[in-house]
Amino acid sequence: MKRSTALACFVACLAACDGSTDADAGLDAPDVPAADVPPVPDVPMDAGPVVGEIYGEPGPHPVGNQRIVMLDRTGDRMLPVELWYPAIEEARDAANAGQPMAAFEAGTEHEAALMTAIEGSPAACIRSNTASALAPAAITEPALLPVVVFSHCHGCVRFDVAEVSERLASHGIVVAAPDHLDNTFWDDPPAPVGAAFLAVRVSDVRSVLDRLLNATAAEMPDDLRGRIDPARAAVMGHSFGAATTGPVVLADDRFVAALAIAAPISILAGLDPADIEVPFLYLLAEEDNSIGAAGNIVIRNDYRAMTSPSFLVEVPGAGHWSFTDIAGLGGQFQPGCAALDERFAYPEPAGFRELAADTAMGFFAARLLGDPEGDAFVTTGLRGRASVSSH
């Protein structure tokens, strides 16, 4: 099954979550009750100044990234985990220069395969270079740093949203992203989308937070060990990872906020969004040819069912992978890459990646950095690029 279309099993799961339906079926959506009215932006597109505009730009810190390996809570899975974090000033030149995407797998068994995949990717779609330095020292102050654990899409990789992760790290938030073994780009075929592997993903995310909060975890870099704030942890996910965020926050009250990109949270887990008590943000791609129109209806309905403070950000012109660094990687992840998916004339993903970074930064600034202007930035800083609803 091609990963570029595999997410239509979300749509298949509207009827039966067995993950066995080819995703092109996602365009033939089953019956999903629509919400009564489409979302209406809280603030007119031309209203007033942008509030909290610092979150629309990289923050004061250069960004470091490095790969570590963690043993999960079951003791059966060794999870590669990418860390992005605020680095010392001496790392700025290296961070500005960045690294090629292939560096994420340098020295691993996947290095050659990633280089081949990159060579077979449309240059206008993938992000070829990072804005981070390899393994510099972390900042020394403050003593405790907030964290976001990221869950990648079906058949994807931990650096799915590296640009978003860099933005968060530049403002002082650590991001930790595991590879969900058996459901990665390197697994052929990846484990199917469905409730069974969803439970594995939830365990992976919780395992990563376990290790981040363990002050003696040997795999953590010395300058980050014992420095993750247990009161300021959030979860973020894309696609199958978005579906992972809902059950994570229901299962683990250490997570104080969640952001779901391009997928609903209710279907695979069979959960009621009204049961979620933490702030939530949904980022919706209006031209999503993976989960289809039916999947977007479910996202809207999930948002409306929320009783906790919530946002819905709807982005015109965006496809399923428009927000990611890997649109079109190796000829896959096609919706969002106009060079590969002719069903819609998608704009180049670079602007959508920036929008996703803006959105995530504003939302998590309010939750993890204690700045109420973060929410105001989500409402005002996305004007002209997205419709924003909140309650």
- Per-residue pLDDT tens, the chain, 391 aa: give them: 344 444 455 555 533 332 322 232 232 233 444 444 344 444 444 567 899 999 999 999 999 999 999 999 999 999 999 999 999 999 999 999 999 999 999 999 999 999 999 999 999 999 999 999 999 999 999 999 999 999 999 999 999 999 999 999 999 999 999 999 999 999 999 999 999 999 999 999 999 999 999 999 999 999 999 999 999 999 999 999 999 999 999 999 999 999 999 999 999 999 999 999 999 999 999 999 999 999 999 999 999 999 999 999 999 999 999 999 999 999 999 999 999 999 999 999 999 999 999 999 999 999 999 999 999 999 999 999 999 999 9
Helices (H), 42-110: 92-97
Confidence at residue 10, expressed as pLDDT on a 0 to 100 scale: 54
- Would you say 388 and 378 are in contact if contact means Cβ atoms under 8 Å apart? yes
pTM for the whole structure: 0.91
Read off φ and ψ for residue 49, nearest 5 degrees: -80, 160
Confidence at residue 48, expressed as pLDDT on a 0 to 100 scale: 75
What span, in angstroms and rounded, lies between the C-alpha atoms of 278 and 248? 11
94 Cβ contact partners less than 8 Å away, ≥ 6 residues apart? 62, 133, 134, 136
Domains of the chain and CATH, by start: 6-42+52-390 (3.40.50.1820)
The CA-to-CA distance between both ends of the chain, in Å, stands at 39
Confidence at residue 29, expressed as pLDDT on a 0 to 100 scale: 34
- Would you say 288 and 314 are in contact if contact means Cβ atoms under 8 Å apart? no
What span, in angstroms and rounded, lies between the C-alpha atoms of 158 and 65? 12
